[in-house]
Amino acid sequence: MNERPHLLLVDGMALLFRAFYATAVTGQYMMNSKGMPTNGVQGFLRHLLLAAENKKASHIAVCWDMGKKTFRNELFNGYKANREAPPVEMIPQFDLARETVEAFQIPNIGVAGYEADDCLGTLAKRLQSEADVSILTGDRDILQLLDDHIVVHLLQKGYGNYKSYTKETFTEDTGVTPQQYIDVKALMGDMSDGYPGVKGIGEKTAFKLIRQFGSIVGILDHLDQLTPAQRKKIEADLEMLYLSRELAEINCGVPVSFSIEAAAVTQIPDTFMAIIEELELKTVKRHLITAKMNTSLIS
């Protein structure tokens, strides 16, 4: 019997932003001789290479946002409206990061009108029957995707440090299932994504209500069991609650074409080494030499 492939799905947006801001706060942009900042792309690649090595991935793909506007902006004008534009030093690094992934000879995945999260969810759910799927991200929203053969590794401070979840450990930790977590998010809202949920309902209360009633539908069926204050808040914000539920749920039906065979990786290709040299990504080169990964990615 053939061993199941291990597919590592990487949240390119989360890794690149995290890597950029980890060094940008001190102004360490790591300019190359062409005057191009490379701090974000170098950190992104270190996260990617370490995860591929640590998690023994046989296949890798990286998912990206494709522009600012998605179906969620059509649902709600305020979606992510509070986010500032990325700093000028970061803008060229989006293309650079994708170019390095292409040189690594693994797929860059992105579909206009959808977020990287939606592509991650679509691929994870589509492939869980034939592969063990690991998702690498810094975004807790992805935890709703936990399922049979789908695990999530949340980046922690530094490199190579993860808080890893299965659907069982998530439920043990939180008292709700990954699917119920969508309803928790809908109730409490998400300030970084710009949707408010129910005004006055915070994270603690949202978890408590979902643990007690199972879902938003369960809460609405038992409004008489809520405190007067809770009932008043929810009844006053019903429309936004339904909308927040729609915004919080990752779309796992994205029309994305993907072949797992194209994501197979066994060693660092020459094309990747060439782009490392061309872009003068010294930190990545040092990492490869130290880790002895320039000939073999998977031990």
Give the CATH number of the domain where residue 188 resides: 1.10.150.20
Kindly state whether residues 34 and 161 are assigned to the same domain: yes
Residue 63's DSSP bridge partners are: 11, 109
In this structure, are residues 194 and 80 in contact, taking their beta carbons and an 8 Å threshold?
yes
Opening angle at CA 63, ends 62 and 66, nearest 5: 135
- Whether 299 has a pLDDT exceeding 70, the answer reads no
Kindly state whether residues 266 and 151 are assigned to the same domain: yes
CA nearest 185: which of 206, 169, 212, 168?
206
| pLDDT tens-digit series, residues 112-158 | 999 999 999 999 999 999 999 999 999 999 999 999 999 999 999 98
Kindly state whether residues 198 and 274 are assigned to the same domain: no
In this structure, are residues 37 and 30 in contact, taking their beta carbons and an 8 Å threshold?
yes
In this structure, are residues 48 and 10 in contact, taking their beta carbons and an 8 Å threshold?
yes
Kindly state whether residues 188 and 127 are assigned to the same domain: no
In the predicted model, what is the mean pLDDT of the chain? 92
- The pTM of the whole model exceeds 0.75: yes
Kindly state whether residues 133 and 228 are assigned to the same domain: no
Kindly state whether residues 258 and 281 are assigned to the same domain: yes
CA nearest 276: which of 24, 99, 93, 51?
99
| pLDDT tens-digit series, residues 130-140 | 999 999 999 99
> What pLDDT does residue 1 have?
43
What is the 3-state secondary structure of 265-294? CCCCCHHHHHHHHHCCCHHHHHHHHHHCCC
Domain extent, residue 198, equals 173-248
Coarse DSSP helix, strand, coil percentages of the chain, rounded to the nearest 5 percent: 50, 10, 40
| pLDDT tens-digit series, residues 172-225 | 999 999 999 999 999 999 988 989 999 999 999 999 999 999 999 999 999 999
Other C-beta atoms closer than 10 Å to the C-beta of 102 total: 15
